[in-house]
Amino acid sequence: MKDIIDPAEEATDSLAIENAIFETALQIPDPTQRREFLERTFQGDPGGREGMEDLLKLAGTSSAFFLEGRMRTAELAQEVIDEFPDVGFPLGEEAVSSGEKEGATIGRYTLLRKIGEGGGGEIFEAAQDGMVRTVALKIIRSGMDTESVVSRFEIERQTLEIMEHPNIARVLDAGKTTSGRPYFVMELVRGARITTFCEAEQLDIPARLELFLKVCQAIQHAHQKGIVHRDIKPSNILVENLDGTYVPKVIDFGIAKAMQGQLHGRAGMTQLGQFIGTPAYMSPEQIDMGGMDIDTRADIYSLGALLYELLAGRPPFDTEKLLESGLTEMRRALIEDNPPLPSETSRLAAEEGKGNTLPGTREKWANTLRGDPDWIVFKAMEKERNRRYQTANSLAMDIRRYLQNEPVIARKPSRGYFMLKFFQRNRAACVLGVAMLLSLVAGLGTTTALYFREKDALAEQARLKRQAQARANVSRAVFLVSEGKTAEADRLLRANPVESIDVSPEAAEVFRSLGSWNATFGRWRQAADCFRLMNEATRLGNRAKMLETVDLLMTGPTYLEAGDQKAYENLRAEMLDRYVPAQNGLQGERLLKACLLLPVDARTIELLESSAEVCRHSPSGAGSVGMTEWKALSLALFHYRKGEFQEAIRQADKCIAIRDKAGSRESAARCVLAMARFKRGETKEARGELEKAKAEMQRVEAQIDEAGFPPIGTWFAWAVVRILAREAEAMIGP
């Protein structure tokens, strides 16, 4: 649809609607019924109603009033009557007619009674001379035999003649009356519209779908003949009960479009800016009136709308509300808006007690429709026609798949969906298989779950074997390390990764030992894997005790030494979430050090402020686990990250003033001191402090023996020194 609607075009559309209302009102002879119709039509618009009443008064004195353009207004008026058959509009002798009366003879046929009328013609039940059968005879009405209507009537006749299908009403004869008006004869369908029939027979969902499949086959036949129906709706599909067999018949190809060439006579009856069809069932490309070529996929949309009403009990759009909203809003709604799911509409119909289905049926239907039926209907009704089913056969095949409990193409595939469909198709076999499986499990006393296929069961068995072997290998590796047989333990672990082990509290000690051993030898990737599994296991334990161990002090530096900054940031986020605020000085000191190895944002500093206060004011002394020098290092790091460089220098100097036999604490403090002095513009002093830290680090590394252990201190303390030294060197320069 165009983004900007031409005002002239919109005015023309409004005039067409007004003409349709006028024509409809003109056919109601009873003044009371005519007034009720106008009040309902012009609800909220008294000025429009008064204007229409004036036009109707003028029409009584001028027989030529609105004669020009009468064909289109009569068609629109008839669409209103077709859509609302129960409003009680009388169609007596004063209505526009073909001029033929009951009992008249046309060719070989005697008219028995009038049974209906379409946009340009009337339909009679007629008896054929010489044959004991009745037929349906359609003839153009008097006053409607203009060139365009006659041409459209001829197209409908030719359309039906070329189609031979048990679910399409057959053409038996054709000709012209003595006055020259065309007519044709087709088989008489004594049935109700498909939606009325389904409700009257109280058909369930599978029965309705089987009936709908026959309609799809009929439309597919028309498409193969090169014909698009373009007005598929319940009133154009009648259903007969023939000896217990439900036979739908597609009728009224009066607005059908020839896809291949031109039928004899005048083709291309559609005019730009005209609706061809019934709004609630029309595809967006029919509504858009932009000159877009209409193909068979327009019928696929209408079939989807018909299926929607068959299943949900209501059409996807309310025709009366669409007509009341005006042509522009109607266009927008049909092109842009999606109706609710059929399952949701069925649920609402159940709550309102609509339809003739048995009590409680609609509630069950809402649950049944939720899933494949919803998907099928909405694929058929896709706004973009390239995303719909491309043929009526493909729509029918998907419905058949649903009825046979097979996966449908309208739904996104998944393993669970395919397994569900497999179970639905083989319900008895699956139930028997499960019963046998349970009997086997009970008889053998096993706890192993069996899968539907042998391959999955074997894969699970192989996984359990690998896991058991991995546990044994880890236990063996720990023993070898304790015996000093590091080379043999290394070969064992490389052949059997520790990731195969299930996480449990009992395994935490194993992961802790292996992680520390790998870190000692600089195998940071393997150490990081071990500490990750260790932390997963210790999460199950006491939270406060976790913070008072060295686990976090080992894990954080290891991630950074392994080059996995993302893993460290995730660990830091977890520590802030689980352990803040610290409860004592030891927790505060370790939390600050573990969280501040890399620069942080202001929010993190704010979260750690309370822990820094606990660390600063907690008692310390000889033998205390939170000794002054270590707290000074953590506070120096905290104030540096906060941007308080003078306080960071003071705390670092306080840390360095206390003798450090291992050298790692003092070296870490010198790195912080170097960065703080550099930030204050003391470049020379900063470089001197960094050189001292690097020299101490090189001295210790030179003394590491073949076993991989540093002579004094711990490996993770020196890892902290290396991390801070790299940051300081990147800032100050080598």
The residues with which 125 forms a beta bridge, in sequence order, are 113, 136
DSSP 435-500: HHHHHHHHHHT--PPPPSSHHHHHHHHHHHHHHHHHHHHHHHHHHHHHTT-HHHHHHHHHHS-GGG
Q: 206: cis peptide before it, omega within 30°?
A: no
Which one from 231, 374, 490, 529 is the annotated catalytic residue? 231
HSE-CB for 397 with a 13 A CA cutoff: 9
Planar angle of CA 102, 103, 107, nearest 5 degrees: 110
The sign of the torsion formed by the CA atoms of 559, 561, 566, 570 equals positive
Integer CA distances (angstroms), 144 to 77, 120, 155, 182, 371, in order: 13, 6, 16, 11, 48
Encode 666-718 in three state secondary structure: HHHHHHHHHHHHHHCCCHHHHHHHHHHHHHHHHHHHHCCCCCCCCCCCCHHHH
The sign of the torsion formed by the CA atoms of 574, 575, 576, 581 equals positive
> CA 463, CA 308: separation in Å to the nearest integer?
49
Task: State the DSSP code for 235.
Answer: G
| CB within 8 Å of 243: residues ≥ 6 apart | none
Q: Which long-range contacts (CB under 8 A, 24 or more apart) does 725-730 make?
A: 725/667, 725/671, 725/690, 725/693, 725/694, 725/697, 727/598, 727/671, 727/675, 728/671, 728/674, 728/675, 728/678, 728/686, 728/690, 728/693, 729/690, 729/694
Closest CA to 257 of 235, 284, 277, 234: 277
138 annotated ligand-binding residue: yes
Does residue 557 contact residue 725 with C-beta atoms inside 8 Å? no
> CA 439, CA 195: separation in Å to the nearest integer?
50
3-state SS, residue 394: helix
The residues with which 134 forms a beta bridge, in sequence order, are 127
Residue 529 annotated to the active site: no
Encode 508-524 in three state secondary structure: HHHHHHHHHHHHHCCCH
Q: How many residues belong to the chain?
A: 734
Which residues are marked as active site? 231
* Residues in binding site for ATP: 138
* Residues in binding site: 138
